[in-house]
Amino acid sequence: MSSNSSKYPLLDQVNDPADIRGMDSAGLNQLADELRDFLIDVTSQTGGHLAPGLGTIELTIALHHVFNTPEDRLVWDIGHQAYPHKILTGRRDQFASIRQYGGLSGFLKRTESDYDTFGAGHASTSLSAALGMAVAAGQKQEEREVVAIIGDGALTGGMAFEALNNAGDLDANLLVILNDNEMSISPNVGAISNYLARILSGHAYTTVREGSKTVLSTLPPPVKDYARRWEEHMKGMVMPSTLFEELGFYYIGPIDGHNVDTVVQTLKNMKEMEGPRFLHVVTQKGKGFEPAEGNPCVFHGVTPFNPDTGKIEVKKKGRSYTNVFSDWLCDMAAKDERLIGITPAMREGSGLVRFSEEYSQRYFDVGIAEQHSLTFAAGLACEGLKPVVAIYSTFLQRAYDQIIHDISIQDLDVLFAIDRAGLVGADGATHAGVYDYSFLRCIPGMVIMAPADEAECRNMLYTGHTHPGLASVRYPRGGGPGVAEDSKMTLLPIGKAELRRQSDDKSVAILAFGTMVQTAELVAESLQATVVNMRFIKPIDESMVLEMARTHQLIVTIEENVVMGGAGSAVNECLAENDIQIPVLNLGIPDRHVDHGSQLQQLAEIGLDEKGVRASIMEKIKLHKNSESLTRPLDISSVKAVNQI
C-alpha cells in the first residue's frame, strides 16, 4: 500500500533513515503525527500488532535521527514494537503486506533488511545479542554504537538480567533503552524528570562526575565508598536507578518517551558517553489512538478494524482449542482444589482469563520467564499440588533443561497444556510449534497426547491431570472440526489409539496424529484407506502399529511436527524393533523453516493439505507398484506379541 501524498507529505519523503537526520524539531514532530496515522490506517486494513508500535513512534524517530543506522546497530526486543522501525527503513510501500504470505514479516528478520540487525520473535533476547555486537565491535576495533531497546515486559525474563549482569562486568560500550510502556517501574514522569534526565546526561554533569571519581580515588576507601553511596542515594530519591547502577550501568531517566525533543537531546548526550548506559523511557501503549489507549491488550494484536471507531471486525468462527482448555481448567479446578494454573505472561493467549478471575489465589502469571515457570511448577508438585502450565509450544522450547532436570528426573506430577502447536500462520517461523513431539518424546516418563477434536482435547486434559506424572496435551491455534465437548470428563487409556476408518481394500493405513486426523479422513475417502487416530505420541500404541503392518501394504504417518524425531519416527522405531519391513511414508514438516502466511497457505506449501497428502501417497504407491511388498500383505504372524500398555 503506497502512502497517500496529500495525507502523508513528510512521511512520503522518508525512504530511509538518512532522510530523517536533517529534520528539525518541527519536522520530527510532524513526522511522528504522520507515522502514527499511517500505522493506524494500514493496520486497520491488514491487522497486526498495533498498540506496541503506537507507543514507540517518537522513540523510533529519535533513534534513527541520532544514530547512523544501520552502521550503528539497533537491536529491538521482539518485533511488536518495531513496526515504525520497518516503515522508516525503506519498507513503507510494502507495509500493507505485513504478516501475509510472501509479504513482510511481523517480526525483525535479518534477511528482510540490513536495518533488522537481529531477528527477534521471542522476548528478552535483545540485551544478549546487543552485548555480543558491542564486544564484536571492540574486538574488530570498529567505531559504532550498539543500542538495545527492550520493553518492560521483556525485562521480566531472566535472560535479560543475565545480560545486564555480564554487560556491566565487561564495561561494554552499550546503550540499553527500557521502553517502560506500562509504567510498572516508575510513574514519576513530567517536566522535573525530563529536566533531571537532560542535566544528568549533559556534558557538564558527566565532566564533574568523572572528575569527582578522579578526586575520590585518592581518598581512603571508607570515605570513597561513602561518597559513592551518597551520590546513588541522592539519585535514588527521584529515580529508580540503584539496581542498574549496581549492575554497572550509568542510569538516566525516566523521561517522557513521547516528547521527541527530550528523547533526541538525551540520546545525543548519551551517545557521547562510553561504557554501559541505561536510559529509562516511559511510553504509553497505544498512544494516539483512543481505543488502543483504553484497551492496549485487545489492540496488542488485532484483526482488521474501523480506524474511526476502533470497532474490530469479528469473523464468525468455531470454538477454539484455547477456549476448550479455558473451560476445562475452571471445571477441573472446581473438582480438584490441588490444581494450580501457571502461565509465563500469556494469560489472554493461553486462555487463563476466566481462571484468573474465578480462582485468583490459584493463578500465577510469572512473567516472561519460561524456565522459572517450569521449576516453579516443580516446586509446587513437590508439595503435593497439581500444577498445570499453560504455554505455547514455541515458548516451551525455552525451558528444555527444566523439563528434564527439574521435572522428569524427579518424576514430578506436572501437566503441560501446549497451545499454538503446529504451524501458526501469520506469526511465522519464530512462533511455529513444530518441534515439541521431537524434543519431548525422548524424555523418560513423558506422556504426549494430541487431540483430533475439541471433545478429545477436554478428555486428554483430564487424562493428563489424572495421570500421576509428567504429561502434555498439545493442540493447535484456532478451532477444531466442531465436535462438542461433554460436560462429563472421560479418562482415556494411556497409549491406546482409535480406529477411525476401516477399509476393506487393505492397501494403505494412515496413522494420523492430532490435527492431521481430519485431513487423513478426507484423503482416505478417495484412496479407500484405513485411518487411525493415534492419540498418543508417547507411549505409542505398538499393538495398533503392528496390526496395521500385518494387514496393510503401506503405512503412512501424518503429523504437524517436524518429520525428524517426530511421531512418524516413533512408528518407524516400533517397526524396526519388531523386525518388520514394510513401505512407510512419513509426512510432516520438512527440514526447513516455514515462512508466515495463513495456516492453510503454509500447509499447502509443504504438502500437508488434503491435495498434497493425497499426491504424496499416490506418488509412493506409484514408486512401489512393482515392489513385492505392495502386491500382498506382509506376513508378521511370527512376530512376538506386544504387551498392551
Q: Which residues are catalytic?
A: 285, 370, 398
The C-alpha cell of 500 is what? 477411525
Cis, bond preceding 344 (omega within 30 deg of 0): no
Which amino acid is it at 312? Answer: I
Q: What crossing angle do the helices spanning 203-216 and 221-236 adopt, rounded to 10°?
A: 150
Number of Cβ within a 10 Å radius of residue 199: 12
Mind spelling out the 3-state secondary structure of 556-601?
A: EEEEEEECCCCHHHHHHHHHHHCCCCCCEEEEEECCCCCCCCCHHH
Residue 72 CA to residue 147 CA, distance in Å, equals 8
The C-alpha cell of 66 is what? 541520532
Using CB atoms within 10 Å of the CB of residue 26, give its burial: 0 to 12 exposed, 13 to 18 middle, 19+ buried.
exposed
SS3 510: strand
Residue recorded with cell 498495533? 50
SS3 548: helix
The C-alpha cell of 572 is what? 518407524
Mind spelling out the 3-state secondary structure of 295-323?
A: CCCCCCCECCECCCCCCECCCCCCCEHHH
Task: Look at strands 386-392 and 415-419 and give their pairing.
Answer: parallel
E strands within 118-219? Answer: 146-151, 175-180
Residue 476 CA to residue 163 CA, distance in Å, equals 33
Q: Are 486 and 447 in contact (CB under 8 A)?
A: no
Residue 466 CA to residue 619 CA, distance in Å, equals 43
The DSSP line for 352-405 is -HHHHHHSGGGEEE--S-HHHHHHHHHHHHHTT-EEEEEEEHHHHGGGHHIIII
Of 577, 259, 599, 300, nearest in space to 421 by CA? 599
Q: Are 291 and 310 in contact (CB under 8 A)?
A: yes
Helix (H) or strand (E) run with residue 546 in it = helix 542-551
Of 29, 46, 41, 31, nearest in space to 4 by CA? 41
